[in-house]
Structure 1
Amino acid sequence: MTRLGADLAMAVAAGDVLALSGDLGAGKSTLARALIRALAGDPDLDVPSPTFTLVQDYQARLPVLHADLYRIGSPDELDELGLDEAAGRGVVLVEWPERAEGNLPGNPIVVVIEASGEGRRITFDGPAATLARFQRTLAIRAFLQDAGQGEAQRSFMFGDASTRAYETITQPHQPTRILMDAPKRPDGPVIRDGKPYSQIAHLAESVTPFVAVGQALYERGMAAPAILAQDLDEGLLLIEHLGSGNFLHVGEPVAERYHLAAQVLAAFHAQSFPDTLPVGGDTYRVPSYDREALHIETELLIDWYLPSVTGKPASDAMRADYHAAWSAVFDQLDTGEKHLVIRDYHSPNLIWRPEQDGLNRIGVIDFQDALIGPSAYDVASLAMDARVDIAPALEASTKAAYVAARQAQGAFDVEGFERAYAVMAAQRNAKILGIFVRLNERDGKPVYLKHLPRIRSYFARALGHPALQPVRRFVEDNGILASTDAQ
């Protein structure tokens, strides 16, 4: 019951009301206590039964209200308990829900606990979407069982902007592991040529690319996590925990770490990389960073960022000019060096591992959307880190560290690299300007707006290179960087 409560804590969401039904001694309080402790991340949290207080409130990853209705005189008393308000901001756990006579808020999930032989049988009934979340968390426990981690403790780590979520998996006398929960991503609406955005931009829709690319990175000396167990169909991976060292120091960039991360890329780019990789008894073909993908990403700026700062959508003529400007710029990439593009090689996805030696001090954890494209892209992703201010001097020294390492390996086209770096830096930051506005306006995540001044600055820096002249002219003519940031 304790393990089940902790597993349910990985699946509950704000607005969930769990009606815990069962006889005295069935385990309702045990289940609730475990769920609350898991949400709070504190296995020793004092969680008394609310039999006499009727309700207990807890501040956790999600706010929790724990109610026991055994002693209420009539359903009319529910209004005084604040269940509706609590359900609006977090999770509500209700023991003896029968006393409410069907007057619980929302659409409750009924959890019935019954004796069954020497154990218990628990059944769930409620909204299909909620039941799907609960089925998922139970499937994860079964996956861990098959991987020899059936008794392990699961702790929520974080979720990202996609459907992926991560947990730490701990068991006595064993190293901590990471669970990657990444169900197959459904296609979005068709936007062009019968394809959704994810297909045009080549975004990974399963964990297969993560497994294939991660193994290839590991084989080439990069500190990518080993895959310890996998279920490709279900989108579940148990992977090595590379450590908890923050790549930044107190939120600030450390020059030596950025230089070392650039040298890691240089060592990796010195090796050949195939576009077809083995995985799960089959093969995975790494997509190309083709013109369609390059263009669809830059269009995020004109689709989302431009209207937010000008107050009006782009005209068809403006769109045509914008596309033509980028086409002229992208022509300059055709003869440049191509390699695996990790795509988000920056501080949130890098682990600082001071206990390791040399290049192994940089752990890399995010590469499922990798493509074959201009190798300069990842250098730009690092040296113009989207999540932290990188001064021009640090950007220049990070690039210099990469160039010096490549030159030490043999002949290296510095001029071609600088050109490709500028193009991909501009392309990436145009994309991010659009994404961060979209996250606010479409997805209700305004926290990303605080990064816009930094990304605007990076974009302007990149446009200073002569290779970006067509795009720079478009930006100047349309006052894009002269406009006020999205609010």
Structure 2
Amino acid sequence: MIELPEGLADFTARAGWADARVEPLPGDASFRRYFRLERPDGATAMLMHAPPPHEDPAPFLHVAHWLNENGMRAPAILAEDAAQGWVLTEDFGNDRMRDWLDDHPADERAAYEAAVEALAALHRLPPGPFAPYDMAVYAREAALLTEWYCPAQGLEVDAAGYAAAWEEVLAPVLSRQTPGVTVLRDYHAENIMLLGGKASAPQGLIDFQDALVGHPAYDLVSLLQDARRDVPVDLETAMLVHYAHHAGVADDEFIADYALLGAQRNAKIVGIFTRLDRRDGKPKYLGMIPRVWAALERDLAHPALEPVARWFDVNIPDDLRAANGAFPA
């Protein structure tokens, strides 16, 4: 029998869902837990428990309210108690884009076109009231690779040179991301819900609590260089063209920024997945590192990444780059 969090019954009663059946749902890589509530009349809602001190639902609520107020499709907030970590939201159902495409592979292009169009619509809005995606954030994220992956591989690397290379290549990106757009930061097939039972349905957004104001290429990279599912390179290329058509960007600088932010994000993810294994005892993410590393290698081939690519060539041996999902015992 699954133990339910303390306070659940009290919160659902206050929210008007005391008679609902509670179904625990699989979680993610955080301390958050999710439950589906179903009333006797068949009405459903989603319950998130993001308990302090490890979690804080206030940022999720802040972004959700802004997205909904601006015509984007975040779940409606039905009840909230941020101090205790409870949020009750609209139920978007079970049709995650990732799962849908597993069952309907012929719908891949249509689903990605709809996801790109939703992203372009977000980018046409003025940036939200969120903190900036500045150099300090980019650098801190990129450093996760040298802080976690390199030690796990038994490597002693030039961390200062790594940081300097990233600062050199990202400086032009910062100059081109003003005034910026809202960046959801984890926009990929596992965080997109298909609300109409088909691939081209409206895109329901979830897991956006870390939103910042930054560059429009970042969420595009998150979608098209997905750590969790293979996106064919020809589809990635086609969706870049599709985005350019809807967002009005089609220049070499944007493509360079896409590669730069792709490399930064993929380096970060390699570090995060290593940390999930080494610190949090969640080894399942290690199996995704080869996919992430392959995308990183493609990004590093862009001339805009030359200082960072040179650092990788000097500091990460070729045999480890070819066997990037395995760590020494």
Letter in 2 for 1:172: P
Determine if the alignment matches structure 1 residue 9 to structure 2 residue 2. Answer: yes
| CA offset digits 1:376-432 (Å, max 9, x no partner) | 10000000011001121111112111111112xxxx363332122111111110011
TM-score, normalization: structure 1?
0.62
Letter in 2 for 1:157: L
Give the Cα–Cα distance (whole angstroms) in 2 for the partners of residues 272 and 356 of structure 1. 29
Partner of 2:240: 399
Question: Do the aligned residues in 2 keep the contact of 1:141 with 1:150 (CA within 8 Å)?
Answer: yes
Give the Cα–Cα distance (whole angstroms) in 1 for the partners of residues 119 and 143 of structure 2. 28
Determine if the alignment matches structure 1 residue 417 to structure 2 residue 254. Answer: yes
Of 148, 163, 170, 2:31 maps to: 163
CA drift of 1:174 comes to 4.4
Of 371, 382, 391, 2:212 maps to: 371
Give the Cα–Cα distance (whole angstroms) in 2 for the partners of residues 452 and 357 of structure 1. 27
Partner of 2:71: 221
Task: Give ranges in structure 1 of 5+ residues lacking alignment.
Answer: 1-7, 12-135, 187-204, 276-285
Give the Cα–Cα distance (whole angstroms) in 2 for the partners of residues 378 and 264 of structure 1. 11
Partner of 1:250: 102
Give the Cα–Cα distance (whole angstroms) in 1 for the partners of residues 128 and 291 of structure 2. 35
Partner of 1:475: 312
TM-score, normalization: structure 2?
0.91
Give the Cα–Cα distance (whole angstroms) in 2 for the partners of residues 233 and 440 of structure 1. 30
Determine if the alignment matches structure 1 residue 207 to structure 2 residue 57. Answer: yes
| CA offset digits 1:274-323 (Å, max 9, x no partner) | 32xxxxxxxxxx222122211111111112212333x2333xxx111111
- Change in 2 beyond 3 A, CA 1:185/1:459: farther
Give the number of the structure whose residues are more often strand, by fraction: 1
Aligned length: 318
Q: How does 1:20-39 map to 2 (within 5 A)?
A: none
Q: How does 1:38-437 map to 2 (within 5 A)?
A: 136-137=5-6, 139-186=7-54, 205-248=55-98, 249-250=101-102, 254-275=108-129, 286-309=130-153, 311-314=154-157, 318-337=158-177, 338-355=180-197, 361-407=202-248, 412=249, 414-437=251-274
Letter in 2 for 1:326: W
CA drift of 1:482 comes to 4.1
Question: Do the aligned residues in 2 keep the contact of 1:353 with 1:361 (CA within 8 Å)?
Answer: yes
Question: Do the aligned residues in 1 keep the contact of 2:96 with 2:191 (CA within 8 Å)?
Answer: no
CA drift of 1:451 comes to 0.7
CA drift of 1:352 comes to 1.8
Question: Do the aligned residues in 1 keep the contact of 2:135 with 2:174 (CA within 8 Å)?
Answer: no
Letter in 2 for 1:300: L
Letter in 2 for 1:471: V
Give the Cα–Cα distance (whole angstroms) in 1 for the partners of residues 84 and 258 of structure 2. 38
Question: Do the aligned residues in 1 keep the contact of 2:122 with 2:182 (CA within 8 Å)?
Answer: no
Give the Cα–Cα distance (whole angstroms) in 1 for the partners of residues 290 and 78 of structure 2. 41
Query: Alignment identity in percent?
Result: 37
| CA offset digits 1:356-375 (Å, max 9, x no partner) | 896x5211111011111112
CA drift of 1:145 comes to 0.4
Letter in 1 for 2:86: L
Task: Give ranges in structure 2 of 5+ residues lacking alignment.
Answer: none
Structure possessing the higher radius of gyration over alpha carbons: 1
Question: Do the aligned residues in 1 keep the contact of 2:125 with 2:181 (CA within 8 Å)?
Answer: no
CA RMSD of aligned residues (A): 1.9
Question: Do the aligned residues in 2 keep the contact of 1:306 with 1:480 (CA within 8 Å)?
Answer: no
Question: Do the aligned residues in 1 keep the contact of 2:75 with 2:91 (CA within 8 Å)?
Answer: yes
Question: Do the aligned residues in 2 keep the contact of 1:166 with 1:179 (CA within 8 Å)?
Answer: yes
Asked which structure has the greater RCO (Cα within 8 Å, sep 6+), the reply is: 2
- Change in 2 beyond 3 A, CA 1:331/1:481: farther
Question: Do the aligned residues in 1 keep the contact of 2:269 with 2:292 (CA within 8 Å)?
Answer: yes
Give the Cα–Cα distance (whole angstroms) in 2 for the partners of residues 481 and 290 of structure 1. 32
Question: Do the aligned residues in 2 keep the contact of 1:168 with 1:176 (CA within 8 Å)?
Answer: yes
| CA offset digits 1:416-462 (Å, max 9, x no partner) | 32122111111110011111112112222211111111011010111
